């Protein structure tokens, strides 16, 4: 059969390992705690699970597979973090409508650039929900 690859298609699912810390929860500043997280985008939800390295066998829904936390991207914003937010490079600042702010980071440019694009697209796709 024939496969057609639509290059304009926006992915609604993506996963990978990112370094993540919360900086604000429900509008309250919290102490940073960077952890490596298995990160899954499903529609307009972004799920984080505590990293088991880059374990590809890690699955949500299974026994030890509870997401650590989930954020709703609808009505949120994404931007590159300014230098005062972190000394790390390639840091994205993600703000939710619920008043949670996260920093997400990867040492690998291409990885963080892909996430930046996908998160930006997701937020604009779901802007009016
Ligand atoms: O923005 P901060 O407070 O300089 O963030 C750093 C601290 O959270 C530090 O932990 P403690 O000060 O709680 O021990 C972390 O180890 C650093 O990674 C944080 O800064 P970066 O610049 O890496 O985001």
Mutate to test the pocket of ligand 1, among 19, 32, 93 (most ligand atoms within 8 A of CB): 32
pLDDT at 18: 96
Residue 103 sits at φ, ψ, to 5 deg, of -110, 135
Q: How far from chain centre, in Å, is Cα 46?
A: 6
Protein residue whose Cα sits closest to atom 20 of ligand 1: 86
The pTM of this model reads 0.82
ipTM above 0.90, yes or no: no
Of the pLDDT bands very low, low, confident and very high (cuts 50, 70, 90), residue 127 is confident
Consecutive H or E run containing 112:
helix 109-125
Does ligand 1 come within 6 angstroms of the Cβ of 50? no
8 A C-beta contact, residue 124 and residue 52: no
pLDDT at 76: 97
pLDDT at 51: 55
Where is average pLDDT lowest: 62-71, 93-102, 115-124?
A: 62-71
pLDDT tens figures, 8-61? 555 568 999 999 999 999 999 999 999 999 999 999 999 999 755 444 445 554
8 A C-beta contact, residue 67 and residue 58: no
pLDDT at 120 over 50: yes
pLDDT tens figures, 53-79? 444 445 554 445 567 899 999 999 999
Q: Which of 72, 18, 17 is nearest to 45 (CA)?
A: 72
Protein residue whose Cα sits closest to atom 9 of ligand 1: 32
- Residue 67's Cβ-side half-sphere holds a number of Cα atoms within 13 Å equal to 13
Does ligand 1 come within 6 angstroms of the Cβ of 31? yes
Protein residue whose Cα sits closest to atom 8 of ligand 1: 32
Does ligand 1 come within 6 angstroms of the Cβ of 89? no
């Amino acid at each position: 059969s024939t496969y057609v690859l639509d290059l304009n298609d926006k992915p609604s699912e993506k996963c990978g390992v990112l370094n993540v810390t919360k900086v604000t929860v429900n509008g309250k500043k919290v102490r940073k705690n960077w952890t490596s997280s298995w990160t899954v985008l499903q529609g307009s939800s972004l799920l984080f699970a505590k990293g088991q390295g880059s374990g590809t066998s890690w699955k949500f829904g299974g026994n030890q597979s509870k997401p650590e936390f989930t954020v709703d991207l609808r009505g949120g914003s994404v931007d590159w973090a300014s230098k005062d937010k972190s000394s790390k490079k390639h840091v994205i600042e993600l703000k939710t409508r619920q008043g949670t702010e996260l920093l997400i980071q990867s040492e690998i440019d291409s990885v963080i650039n892909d996430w930046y694009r996908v998160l930006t697209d997701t937020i604009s796709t779901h802007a009016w929900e």
